[in-house]
Amino acid sequence: MKLADLEDKNVLLVGLGKEGKATQAFLEKMVPSATVTAVDENQGADYLAHQKEFDLAIKSPGVKPDQLTIPYTTATNLFFALVKGKTIGVTGTKGKSTTASLLYAMLLEAQKKVHLVGNIGNPMLTELLVSNTLEDYWVCELSSYQLADIEYAPDIAVITSLFPEHMDYHGSIDAYYQAKMRIIANATEKNTLVYDPTSQVALMLEETTVVTVPFIESLPFPESEIPLLGVHNISNIRAAITVAQLLGIADSVIEQAVKQFQPLAHRLQNVGTFKGITFYDDAISTTPQSTVAALNAIPSIGTIFLGGEDRGYDFTPLVQELAKKEIPAIVLFPESGEKIKNLLQQEKTYHPQILETTTTRDAVAFAYAHTPIGMSCVMSPASPSYSLWKNFLERGDEFQSIVKELGQEGE
């Protein structure tokens, strides 16, 4: 869709979150002749009752397409229709934020004119108002919500990983996977896909015309120089390096960017050591698979916080890993904490201390009381946070604040 298609139109903007507000500001500046009316679900259940009075809608990512009965587009589609520079779209169940941020750091180190946008960084349309030239590089983190109805393809697409998530929105695992794979649905032989050849992605490439490039097999520098924990982060680094090399970035520049890279907040983030216990905030781990990765990344875990919104995940492999590592103490939050507890009770030889609670303060106090000195406490819930918190950011911030508060008591 071109901006000219919006001129003099009566446009319904659906959703007034961060992206919705950015879209509204963009339209007011770039298409002043359009009449834009913004609505949001906070206005009540019937906030879309009058949509037929509009020519078209621009919907936010979290709004399901079947809620709309008029033609619509998205901010993501507007961006890709208008952008002039080189676009790199990064998606995946986990790892997309770290991979996108790593690639952004590499391009900055190479002194490129680069923007980090989408699901991380500024909204795409906000940055498009800042600059839109052929010299711009656009690293776009793209969620399954943004990709489900995308009509374009980035110049380079990156898929970090695929495993079940967001079935509540997409309806099934297959629909979720297909939404992720839409990052290349409109690609041609001029586009490139960078992917993990050992992942689910490799099984879904039979009919594509896009050029496929697997992650590099090994790093061009020692792993001991990497400031990130976990095998999964090695994979993220390999993904970012593969793209950087495709863009002609020198290995010396890539190495410098990786060495200087700081772990993102709430992603295996070291909160600090208090009273002899090291605390890690891994609130981003909202699936069992990502929590298993955390268990394998952090040594000597004494206590782990688990549980949140129940999305129907199978926690059996996670509980098996807990038993294998003999984690001494576990905190369980509703709703999925009950499922995890039932699985733990079926273990014959593994009997950790368990606290069931609804408050972070009680959980942290339990951790201070039951984590052996010299060991770690990890908050890596294996479930979305919405049962008790607004999102993983709120949950992680609360965890860090209380850890530091209780850690300073008695000093």
CA distances from 111 to 50, 240, 352 (A): 49, 16, 51
pLDDT at 229: 87
Question: Are the C-beta atoms of 29 and 111 separated by less than 8 Å?
Answer: no
Is the full-model pTM beyond 0.75? yes
pLDDT at 62: 83
Helix (H/G/I), strand (E/B), else coil: 90: strand
**What distance in Å separates the CA atoms of residue 93 and residue 288, rounded to the nearest whole number?**
12
pLDDT at 94: 87
pLDDT tens per residue across span 337-350: 999 999 999 999 99
Each domain of the chain, given as residue ranges in start order, spans 3-75, 83-260, 269-406
Per-residue pLDDT, averaged over 369-378, amounts to 97
269-406: in CATH 3.40.309.10 = no
Which one, of 378, 140, 360, lies nearest residue 267 by Cα? 378
pLDDT at 202: 82
Range name among 60-64, 131-135, 268-272 with the lowest pLDDT average: 60-64
- Report the percent of the chain where pLDDT is more than 70: 98
**What distance in Å separates the CA atoms of residue 303 and residue 366, rounded to the nearest whole number?**
9
**What distance in Å separates the CA atoms of residue 128 and residue 85, rounded to the nearest whole number?**
10
Per-residue pLDDT, averaged over 220-228, amounts to 88
Helix (H/G/I), strand (E/B), else coil: 217: coil
Torsion of CA 43, 49, 50, 55, to 10 degrees: 100
pLDDT at 130: 94
Give me the residues paired with residue 156 across strands.
88, 192
pLDDT at 164: 67
**What distance in Å separates the CA atoms of residue 154 and residue 61, rounded to the nearest whole number?**
18
Matching CATH number, 83-260, of 3.30.70.580, 3.40.50.720, 3.40.140.10, 3.40.1190.10: 3.40.1190.10
Torsion of CA 147, 153, 159, 165, to 10 degrees: 10
pLDDT tens per residue across span 163-215: 767 666 677 888 888 889 999 999 999 999 999 998 888 888 877 789 999 99
pLDDT at 49: 94
Which one, of 189, 143, 191, lies nearest residue 165 by Cα? 143
**What distance in Å separates the CA atoms of residue 127 and residue 143, rounded to the nearest whole number?**
18
pLDDT tens per residue across span 31-57: 999 999 999 999 999 999 999 999 999
Assess whether pLDDT exceeds 90 at residue 152: yes
pLDDT at 322: 97
Q: How confident is the model at residue 323 (pLDDT cuts 50, 70, 90)?
A: very high
**What distance in Å separates the CA atoms of residue 283 and residue 310, rounded to the nearest whole number?**
15
pLDDT at 411: 59
Per-residue pLDDT, averaged over 225-245, amounts to 93
pLDDT tens per residue across span 235-244: 999 999 999 9
Assess whether pLDDT exceeds 90 at residue 224: no
pLDDT at 406: 96
Per-residue pLDDT, averaged over 345-374, amounts to 97
Assess whether pLDDT exceeds 90 at residue 127: yes
pLDDT tens per residue across span 92-120: 988 999 999 999 999 999 999 999 999 88
**What distance in Å separates the CA atoms of residue 78 and residue 149, rounded to the nearest whole number?**
12
3-75: in CATH 3.40.50.720 = yes
**What distance in Å separates the CA atoms of residue 237 and residue 234, rounded to the nearest whole number?**
5
- Report the percent of the chain where pLDDT is more than 90: 78
Assess whether pLDDT exceeds 70 at residue 302: yes
pLDDT at 410: 61
pLDDT at 168: 67
